[in-house]
Amino acid sequence: MKKDNFKIAVFAGDGIGPEIMKEGLKILNVISEKKKIKLQIQEGLAGGCAYDKSGTPLPDASLKLAIKSDAVLLGAVGGPQWESLDYSVRPERALLGLRSNLGIYANLRPVVVFEELLNASPLKKSIVRGIDIMIVRELTGDVYFGKPRGVRKGKDGKRHGINTMAYSEDEIRRIAVRAFEIARTRKKNLTSVDKANILETMELWRDIVTQVGKKYPDVILKHMYVDNCALQLIRDPSQFDVIVTTNLFGDILSDEAAMLTGSIGMLPSASLGKKSALYEPIHGSAPDIAGKNIANPLAMILSVALMLRYSLSLPREAALIEKAVGETLKAGFRTKDIYQKNKKTVGTAEMGDAVAKNLRKLMI
């Protein structure tokens, strides 16, 4: 897609959502002004704020806006004031509605440890220094959706629980192609994680990923069992470039990998779909710190970078945003959650300003 005019749907959401979104948009404005591209940014309501206004967390107008856009940027949704609502209208339903209507099937979670934040990791610096991993998690299959499922009474009169691990060839092929394509834009090193030594579904997974790999001879493909991967992520995370895995294993491994960085306010995500893609920080709406100008906007800003890379075909500008974040940290700027001694504690808006200033300099 080579365009100079993009439609972006923006849902700031609840809690710290509006505060961090403001900083994400600051960065987008710098890109639009310096690169001379037109960004049609349209804001909509999703989450608790949408429920308060219209009685539903994802009004039709919001859904339409998301579907007709090139990409969707989301802050965060939810908060204690909506916790007693019926499940069907809880703010988090907005996420499910967006994901299913956009045909989302892949979740991308980059795990990058910035040199300046090595101390935040619970692991030794020598282990996490320089890690840059992309986890590609399949989102539509596996035990979360396989049938039969449920808890029922068996012949022994006792309750039995069942969930079914299920994958079709097409589902595996689709995510494998995506992961190989991503690996091609990075260090060309892909690890497919499964449990093919025990589970037939995973044998099929390995078979299809290997088949797809034949079309990508420039990418080195390695297969790894999930238990070994869990161990290797702690023992030697820098061996990984791109990891592709199933819904269940990806759910667990991506949270494990997130902890390598030690800071939830730094981690962006992308959810790619058939119709569009959704970009959001991995953290929630942090109601405990909302409205205080102390939330870390960097996960939101890094989500904007992912959007440029994967939906707007602007990889150079995406890398410049990431570089601007690195330089801002190097200059000593810290929000409260990543505070370090002898560094400058700044608020949400000041952090956004500092990144925008560095980005402007890099885009001269």
Is 286 a residue that touches ligand NAD (CB under 6 A)? yes
Q: Which of 289, 301, 305, 314 binds ligand NAD (CB under 6 A)?
A: 289
Is 264 a residue that touches ligand NAD (CB under 6 A)? yes
CB atoms within 10 A of CB 260: 20
Contact map string, positions 87 to 116, toward ligand NAD, x by CB under 6 A:
-----x--x---------------------
Distance CA 101, CA 31 (A): 29
Q: Which 139-198 residues touch ligand NAD, going by CB under 6 A?
A: none
Q: How far is the CB of 255 from ligand NAD (least distance, A)?
A: 11
Is 58 a residue that touches ligand NAD (CB under 6 A)? no
Please list the active-site residues.
144, 195, 227, 251, 255
Contact map string, positions 11 to 50, toward ligand NAD, x by CB under 6 A:
-----x----------------------------------
Contact map string, positions 210 to 249, toward ligand NAD, x by CB under 6 A:
----------------------------------------
Distances (CA, A) of 7 to 24, 33, 269, 270, 315: 16, 16, 19, 17, 18
**Residues 165/142, Cβ–Cβ less than 8 Å:** yes
| Residue 2 in tokens | 């080579």
Is residue 57 reached through a cis peptide bond, with omega within 30 degrees of 0 on the bond before it?
Answer: no
One-letter amino acid for residue 132 of the chain: D
| Residue 317 in tokens | 């500008």
Distance CA 184, CA 316 (A): 15
Between 32 and 254, CB nearer to ligand NAD:
254
Q: How far is the CB of 133 from ligand NAD (least distance, A)?
A: 21
If we measure between CA atoms, which residue out of 81, 54, 19 comes closest to residue 265? 19
Between 248 and 299, CB nearer to ligand NAD:
299
Distance CA 294, CA 310 (A): 29
**Residues 144/247, Cβ–Cβ less than 8 Å:** yes
Stretch near ligand NAD under the rule CB under 6 A, chosen from 70-78, 234-242, 307-315, 349-357: 70-78
Distance CA 51, CA 31 (A): 33
3-state secondary structure of 193: strand
Distance CA 153, CA 240 (A): 44
Is 272 a residue that touches ligand NAD (CB under 6 A)? no
Stretch near ligand NAD under the rule CB under 6 A, chosen from 170-178, 241-249, 294-302, 323-331: 294-302
- Name residue 224's beta-bridge partners: 193
Stretch near ligand NAD under the rule CB under 6 A, chosen from 134-142, 199-207, 233-241, 276-284: 276-284
Q: How far is the CB of 52 from ligand NAD (least distance, A)?
A: 14
Footprint of ligand NAD on this chain (CB under 6 A)?
16, 76-79, 92, 95, 264-265, 280, 283-289, 295-296, 299, 337
